[in-house]
Amino acid sequence: MSAFIQEHGLLFGWLTVIGQILLFTVVLLLSLAFLLLMDRKVWAAVMMRKGPNVVGPFGLMQSFADFGKFLLKEIIIPAGANKTVFLLAPIMSLTLAFAAWAVIPVAPGWVVSDLNVGILYLFAVSSLGVYGIIMGGWASNSKYPFLGSLRSAAQMVSYEVSIGFIIITVILLVGSMNLSDIVNNQGGGFWTWHVFSLNHFVLFPVMLAMFVMFFVSALAETNRPPFDLPEAESELVAGYQVEYSSTPYLLFMIGEYLNIVLMCAMMTILFLGGWHGIIPMGEDFVAGFPQWIVNLGHLAWFMAKVVFFFFLFALVKAVVPRYRYDQLMRLGWKIFLPTSLAAVLIVSGYVVYTGVHA
């Protein structure tokens, strides 16, 4: 980016970067609107009902109608709340949810910031995301949201540990923390994807188990059913969001769904080959097309995989009963943590013994 700015001028360079960020943000928000509709449609189909089908053709405009409703409703702040922190909490949650997407590559070269330590950046941003939830629960000055925020913080911290060790197994295989490098390492066809690891066939059961554990941990990390304990209706109403309404509530919801789609993107990048197709296309096949056309094809593959994982998230919500909180903690600390630690030892031993990166 610095070379581009030096060549074309500082102002033009920064305007280009800002334009890219705005375009990425708009596309992400539009995608989120239709993914939310898909979420509701999947729940409806499992319950054998129609779901949203009135606003627009097939209900396609339902998410936009809900968005307008949230914008027009009055913002109500509880009398005993800390108003500054109360309003900062959803803004912080939304900002950090967007910031995490800065290092997500959706096609070759199509990434806001291609950091060599992209994984560390994601860890830092996701760790800060806990503060928005704690701030929202505490600032409401009510016991229900405060208990919900404490539950959510404990749950997110617990499953961040296992997610971290699972990601380390992928880093060991690739030898890089750059997300583009991780995707490119899986570019030889579906048999090179980390979920199968057929080019490292000894690790196939280990990496398949890590993929399943990452999926379950992602459900818990984003407070999705069957791990939506911070907002269990029979206990804590809506958790840390109880006292929120109108636009602040909308910001919390957008941040939550951005994190859900981020987890879908991370599973795609870490285990399912990112933007690469099932079978690699030869250089001769793509040579006759402009690079942006080729990148659109890669983007289509990436989006298809993300939508597939989002469909699984919606399906789990519709069919799996909620866990108890002690079951949630036991799964995270007594099963996932030791299993992921053992996987790190196995993969590191394999990498050292075979000299994969030599």
pLDDT tens for 66-89 read 888 888 888 888 888 888 888 899
Tokens 């959803």, located at residue: 90
How large is the greatest C-alpha to C-alpha distance in the chain, in angstroms?
67
Contact between 148 and 240 (Cβ < 8 Å): yes
Same domain, 148 and 33: no
Is the same domain home to 51 and 187? Answer: no
Q: Are residues 127 and 178 in the same domain?
A: yes
Residues 68 and 83 in one domain: no
Do 173 and 290 belong to one domain?
yes
Residues 247 and 188 in one domain: yes
Residue holding tokens 């994807």? Answer: 193
DSSP structural state of residue 331:
I
Determine contact, residues 271/170, Cβ cutoff 8 Å.
Answer: yes
- Its domain, for residue 297, covers 79-354
Mean pLDDT for all residues in the chain:
85
Long-range contacts formed by 129-133: CB under 8 A, 24+ apart: 129/93, 129/96, 129/97, 129/100, 129/156, 129/255, 129/259, 130/156, 130/157, 131/92, 132/89, 132/90, 132/92, 132/93, 132/96, 132/255, 133/89, 133/93, 133/230, 133/240
The structure's pTM equals 0.89
Is the domain of 110 the same as that of 39? no
Compute φ and ψ for 107, nearest 5 degrees.
Answer: -165, 165
Same domain as 83, residue 125: yes
258 and 199, same domain (yes or no):
yes
Q: 83 and 220 share a domain?
A: yes
With b meaning 16 or more CB within 10 Å and e meaning fewer, what string describes 84-123?
A: eebbbbbbbbbbbbbbbbbbbbbbbebbbebbeebbebbb
Token reading at 268: 């795609």
**Nearest alpha-carbon partner for 153 in 264, 229, 78:** 229
The candidate with the shortest Cα–Cα distance to 249, out of 13, 66, 1, 28, is 66
pLDDT for the residue numbered 197 = 80
Domain co-membership, 293 together with 327: yes
Q: What is the pLDDT of residue 147?
A: 84
Q: Total domain count for the chain? A: 2
Same domain, yes or no: 108 and 255:
yes
Q: Which residues of the chain carry a pLDDT beneath 70?
A: 1-9, 231-238, 282-288, 357-358
Confidence (pLDDT) at 283: 63
